[in-house]
Chain A
Amino acid sequence: MKKIKTDKGEKQRRLLQEYIFNLEDVQEKAEELAVAHEKLKQSQELLMAVLGCTTHGVCLIRNGTFVWCNKALTDILGWELGEIIGKTTEAIYPAVREDEKANVIYGAFQQRRSVMHECELVHKDGHRVPCLVTGHFMDGDDSSRGYVLSITDFTERKKIEEELIQHRDHLEEMVKERTAKLQWVNDQLHREINERRLVENALKESENWYRTIFENTGTATAILDENKIILLANAECEKLSGYTRAELEGKKCWTEFVEKEDLDRMLNSHKLRRHNRDAAPKNYEFRFRDRNGHVKDIILTIDMIPGTNRSVTSLLDITERKKAEEERRKSEELYTTLIKTMPDIVVRTDVNGEILFVNEVGLKKGGYSREEVIGHNILSFVAPEERRTATDTMLNMIQQRLYPIEYHITAKDGRKPLFEVNGRILRDEDGFPYGFVFVCRDITERRRTEEARQRLEERLRRAEKMEVLGTLAGGVAHDLNNVLGVLVGYSELLLERVPEGNHLRKYTTNILQSGQKGAAIIQDLLTLARRGVAVSDVINLNDIVSGYLKSPEFERLKKFYPCITLDAILDKELLNVKGSPVHLEKTLLNLVSNAAEAISDYGDITIRTENRYLDKHVNGYDHLQEGDYAVLQISDNGKGISAADIEKIFEPFYTKKVMGRSGTGLGLAVVWGTVKDHEGYIDVQSKEGEGSVFSLYFPITREAKMVSDLKMVSAESYMGGGESILVVDDVREQRELAVTMLSRLGYRVNAVSSGEEAVEYLKARTVDLMVLDMIMAPGIDGLETYKRVLEINPKQKAVIVSGFSETEQVENAQKLGAGCYVRKPYIMEKIGLAIRDELLK
């Protein structure tokens, strides 16, 4: 064909391809076969090993004959391996007829089906072995066809089974017996339960009663076991402890609530009580600590519950009661202490005033014993003149009108101290009065102190008044002095020019004297201002008196009051005082004039001096301090001073005199001021119609008295020698007066009107001395002027003149080197001497 034609090799290739594939196939199958063979061999070995190890007998039967068996089968049936192979199955199976079960096997054999049955096989020695036989037919070719039997020995299992059956029978027997017993017991129980139910009902009822009582006792009640656990607690327990019942019951020990100090004692009782119910106390107090840590006082009542180890306890909170008791005790103690320690008398009486109680103070103050007071009427101790009032007061008290009232109480020794009595009525619950309580305070001393204070206040008020007026007067004095200075100065100059015998001389003299008198009044005012008094001289008051008695003023007084006798009793040993003679003379003069004026017709005036030592302070008219004093006393038997007036007599411008007849209204004020400047005291005793005594106390000094200044100075001693003087004064009249006076004294005088001018003046030229006014306005004052002048000329001499008194500025100027201080208004002699002294330094 076409195919063959084209390629001969093609067919060969095709065949070859088929051949290769066949070859490959065969080779593969051969390989697979080898593998299968190997596996079979392994499997066979495994099977043999398994069959060799198992306890199950395995055998192969072919045509009714054993062809193979394992070791286990020989063990089960007692045959040796060699003995059994070739034997028929009848050798191990009993005769067919005897055992129908065996038929099963034979039947199975014939029908070639699998079988499993229990039967007895025959052991080699003839005994029967119970076995489980499993048979399986193996089909195949003749060589492999046969029956495989697996035989399991049941002997042990049978034995166990029999035993089990025996046991089971025995058990069943026992169960029967038991059941019968249980039935009986059950019946019994039923009966008992019924009985118990009855009892329980009764018990429940009883328990309800007790529960109700337990809950409603109103006190905390609890049941405790021997381990101290709270088994049962009522609602009050919850309140007391702060825990709920659930928290308390069965959980808490009562010991947790007991304060440490009480615990040992209570634990002891707890134990003791369980040994002998009556051995431990059944009531006691202890301190209970609740959940919040509050400690309460508790009365505990406890007893055992008979026949148990439990106790029942009730707890009564007495904290408030205790507190109240304590409060009451404290309050009583407080009152008792109060009454004992208070400085006042406390008296309690019945409604009639009969004394039921009086404190120690009352007995002490009155000086009575208790027996002398208790049972007596309180009115009998009131001063007789006040009893009426006291009775009325008590009646008022019953009518609720209460107020303190003052009584004098009669003490046993007759004293009648003043008491402020506060009373209160005591009423019972129905408001019915059943007594009085009086608190009596001794106000004798208080009253005295009050009076003293009043006096002191009055004195202070007076002193202040004087001070104010004095300051006022002092302020006026300065200007007035300048005016008077001119008056005095020019009248003096005029007197020198008017020849003796000229009638103008009398006028001039009058002007001069009036000026001087005016200056004296100014000095009084300055004295009141307490600034013008130099108390540095050592003086004997006797000299002052003597001097006064020789003075023209006294002569004038004698003439004016011819009917008055004056006596002077002077202590020769009188001690010196430090003071200002002028002021003291003035003081004496004022007092004597006043004494004279107090005597309307005939009368006596006595001037007395003496040393007096006050060893304690005296509250007289003045408040006198202790110490050594020289006393100047002026007494008269005139009309005296009324009590109303006596407080005011030292006030400035207070006068009883007829105006114009004498005085300035400053007389006694000057006396007061002078004495105060001398650090002394004044006592005044006076009775209207009997006269007055003025005693002036001056503190003494031990310094010796200076020789008295020369009274008379010759004009030559203070005449100038042509030295140059610069007058510095802001007041024109003063300047001119000074220039005139100093020119007359023989000095070369220039004047300037201010400090600044003075400084300018001294820059250009020098002067031997300055007469320097201290107070200048406007511009720098005397002190500043002097300071500046000293810068120009450190050795500049100066005399200070001032209308005012010695001030701080004067002192400061003197410290800087200025010389003496001359008070305005001055006369030629004074300023002349001052200048002369300064120039001679």
Chain B
Amino acid sequence: MLWKGENHVAIKKILVVDDDKPISSYLLRKFTKLGYTVYVAEDGEKAVKQAFSNPPDIILLDVKLPRLGGIEVCKRLKADDRTKDIPILILSAKAQSFEINEGLEAGADKYLCKPMSFPAILDEIRAYDKK
């Protein structure tokens, strides 16, 4: 409960990109409860569209996505001026080292491997508050 009021100083808007409904809705509920504004995109195209039209403060991005993959999404966002400064945290079940490298090379700021508890994810998000 102490997080409230501290966390949303810098980061207010979070774009959650995951095609797994139970995960995305859980994150949506938890972040909203803490006072964040959360947008959810179920595929890569929606994610890119959403990010351009309404740039979030941070993006939590899955890699395995329908239509447009997470790596491709990452590359596009980092390539565009409107979104290139938005921190992108990849949260993926792909945990092999080449996969991780692929994500980081695509411009992701951090590569998180599933499974992670919500407090751990929150810590990662909060780490960008101060940046």
A11-B93, A13-B95 known; A21 and B23 CB under 8 Å? Answer: yes
- Identify 28 residue pairs between A and B in the complex whose beta-carbon atoms are under 8 Å apart, listed by A's number: A7-B93, A7-B94, A7-B96, A9-B95, A10-B64, A10-B93, A10-B94, A13-B93, A13-B95, A13-B113, A13-B114, A13-B115, A14-B93, A17-B20, A17-B23, A17-B93, A17-B114, A17-B116, A18-B20, A18-B22, A18-B23, A20-B116, A20-B117, A21-B23, A22-B22, A24-B26, A24-B117, A25-B26
Chain A residues with CB below 8 A from B116, complex form: 17, 20
Of A11, A19, A22, A24, most buried by chain B (CB within 10 Å of CB) is A24
B118 interface residue per 8 A CB criterion: yes
CA distance A379 to B96 in the complex (A): 178
Chain A residues with CB below 8 A from B99, complex form: 7
A16 interface residue per 8 A CB criterion: yes
CA distance A10 to B22 in the complex (A): 17
CA distance A174 to B115 in the complex (A): 93
A3-B64, A16-B114 known; A10 and B23 CB under 8 Å? Answer: no
Distance of A1 from chain B, by nearest CB (Å): 11
Chain A residues with CB below 8 A from B118, complex form: 21, 24
Distance of B20 from chain A, by nearest CB (Å): 7
Of B96, B114, B118, most buried by chain A (CB within 10 Å of CB) is B114
Q: Which B residues between 59 and 96 are near A, CB-CB below 8 angstroms?
A: 64, 93-96
Distance of A656 from chain B, by nearest CB (Å): 158
The residue of chain A having its C-beta at the shortest distance from the C-beta of B94 within the complex is A10
CA distance A17 to B26 in the complex (A): 11
Partner of A21, one of B26, B93, B113: B26
Chain A residues with CB below 8 A from B93, complex form: 7, 9-11, 13-14, 17
Chain A residues with CB below 8 A from B26, complex form: 21, 24-25
| CB-based contact B64/A16 at 8 Å | no
- Please tell me the number of chain B residues within 8 Å of chain A, measured between CB atoms: 16
Distance of A26 from chain B, by nearest CB (Å): 12
Chain A residues with CB below 8 A from B96, complex form: 7
Distance of B62 from chain A, by nearest CB (Å): 9
Chain A residues with CB below 8 A from B20, complex form: 14, 17-18
CA distance A144 to B23 in the complex (A): 38
Chain B residues with CB below 8 A from A21, complex form: 22-23, 26, 118
CA distance A547 to B2 in the complex (A): 171
20 extra interface residue pairs, beta carbon distance < 8 Å, beyond A9-B95, A14-B93, A14-B114: A6-B94, A7-B94, A7-B96, A7-B99, A10-B64, A10-B93, A11-B93, A13-B95, A13-B114, A17-B93, A18-B20, A18-B23, A19-B115, A20-B115, A21-B26, A22-B22, A24-B26, A24-B117, A24-B118, A25-B26
Distance of A145 from chain B, by nearest CB (Å): 34
Interface membership of chain B positions 4-37, coded 1 if the CB is closer than 8 angstroms to chain A and 0 otherwise: 0000000000000000101100100000000000
Interface membership of chain A positions 1-45, coded 1 if the CB is closer than 8 angstroms to chain B and 0 otherwise: 001001101110110111111101100000000000000000000
CA distance A16 to B113 in the complex (A): 12
Chain A residues with CB below 8 A from B115, complex form: 13, 16-17, 19-20
CA distance A25 to B28 in the complex (A): 13
Closest 5 CB pairs of A and B: A13-B93, A17-B115, A16-B115, A17-B114, A10-B93
Distance of B108 from chain A, by nearest CB (Å): 17
A-contacting residues of B (Cβ < 8 Å)?
A: 20, 22-23, 26, 64, 93-96, 99, 113-118
The residue of chain A having its C-beta at the shortest distance from the C-beta of B25 within the complex is A21
Chain A residues with CB below 8 A from B94, complex form: 6-7, 10
The residue of chain B having its C-beta at the shortest distance from the C-beta of A14 within the complex is B93
Of A7, A13, A16, most buried by chain B (CB within 10 Å of CB) is A13
Chain B residues with CB below 8 A from A13, complex form: 93, 95, 113-115
Chain A residues with CB below 8 A from B117, complex form: 20, 24
CA distance A3 to B93 in the complex (A): 11
CA distance A9 to B118 in the complex (A): 20
Chain A residues with CB below 8 A from B113, complex form: 13
Distance of B76 from chain A, by nearest CB (Å): 22
The residue of chain B having its C-beta at the shortest distance from the C-beta of A3 within the complex is B64
Distance of A398 from chain B, by nearest CB (Å): 135
The residue of chain A having its C-beta at the shortest distance from the C-beta of B26 within the complex is A21
CA distance A18 to B93 in the complex (A): 11
CA distance A13 to B99 in the complex (A): 15
The residue of chain B having its C-beta at the shortest distance from the C-beta of A21 within the complex is B26
Chain A residues with CB below 8 A from B114, complex form: 13-14, 16-17
Chain B residues with CB below 8 A from A25, complex form: 26
Chain A residues with CB below 8 A from B64, complex form: 3, 10
CA distance A560 to B96 in the complex (A): 204
Distance of B97 from chain A, by nearest CB (Å): 12
CA distance A20 to B23 in the complex (A): 10
Of B93, B113, B116, most buried by chain A (CB within 10 Å of CB) is B93
Chain B residues with CB below 8 A from A7, complex form: 93-96, 99
Chain B residues with CB below 8 A from A10, complex form: 64, 93-95
CA distance A20 to B114 in the complex (A): 10
Of A18, A19, A22, most buried by chain B (CB within 10 Å of CB) is A18
Distance of B63 from chain A, by nearest CB (Å): 10
Of A9, A17, A20, A25, most buried by chain B (CB within 10 Å of CB) is A17
Chain B residues with CB below 8 A from A19, complex form: 115
Distance of B22 from chain A, by nearest CB (Å): 5
CA distance A6 to B99 in the complex (A): 11
Distance of A22 from chain B, by nearest CB (Å): 8
CA distance A668 to B118 in the complex (A): 173
CA distance A3 to B99 in the complex (A): 13
Interface membership of chain A positions 122-163, coded 1 if the CB is closer than 8 angstroms to chain B and 0 otherwise: 000000000000000000000000000000000000000000
CA distance A16 to B93 in the complex (A): 10
Chain B residues with CB below 8 A from A9, complex form: 93, 95
The residue of chain A having its C-beta at the shortest distance from the C-beta of B29 within the complex is A25
Distance of A172 from chain B, by nearest CB (Å): 67
Distance of B29 from chain A, by nearest CB (Å): 8
CA distance A10 to B20 in the complex (A): 13
The residue of chain B having its C-beta at the shortest distance from the C-beta of A28 within the complex is B30
Chain B residues with CB below 8 A from A18, complex form: 20, 22-23
Chain A residues with CB below 8 A from B95, complex form: 7, 9-10, 13
The residue of chain B having its C-beta at the shortest distance from the C-beta of A23 within the complex is B117
Distance of A248 from chain B, by nearest CB (Å): 81
CA distance A712 to B3 in the complex (A): 174
The residue of chain A having its C-beta at the shortest distance from the C-beta of B62 within the complex is A14
The residue of chain A having its C-beta at the shortest distance from the C-beta of B21 within the complex is A18
Distance of A11 from chain B, by nearest CB (Å): 7
CA distance A392 to B118 in the complex (A): 161
CA distance A24 to B33 in the complex (A): 14
CA distance A443 to B96 in the complex (A): 169
CA distance A615 to B12 in the complex (A): 153
Chain B residues with CB below 8 A from A17, complex form: 20, 23, 93, 114-116
CA distance A13 to B118 in the complex (A): 15
CA distance A25 to B64 in the complex (A): 24
Distance of A2 from chain B, by nearest CB (Å): 10
Distance of B2 from chain A, by nearest CB (Å): 16
CA distance A809 to B117 in the complex (A): 158
CA distance A792 to B97 in the complex (A): 161
Distance of A164 from chain B, by nearest CB (Å): 57
Interface membership of chain A positions 359-393, coded 1 if the CB is closer than 8 angstroms to chain B and 0 otherwise: 00000000000000000000000000000000000
CA distance A16 to B20 in the complex (A): 13
Distance of A280 from chain B, by nearest CB (Å): 98
The residue of chain A having its C-beta at the shortest distance from the C-beta of B99 within the complex is A7
The residue of chain B having its C-beta at the shortest distance from the C-beta of A10 within the complex is B93
CA distance A9 to B20 in the complex (A): 17
CA distance A440 to B122 in the complex (A): 147
CA distance A16 to B117 in the complex (A): 10
Interface membership of chain A positions 37-66, coded 1 if the CB is closer than 8 angstroms to chain B and 0 otherwise: 000000000000000000000000000000
Distance of B84 from chain A, by nearest CB (Å): 29
Distance of A16 from chain B, by nearest CB (Å): 4
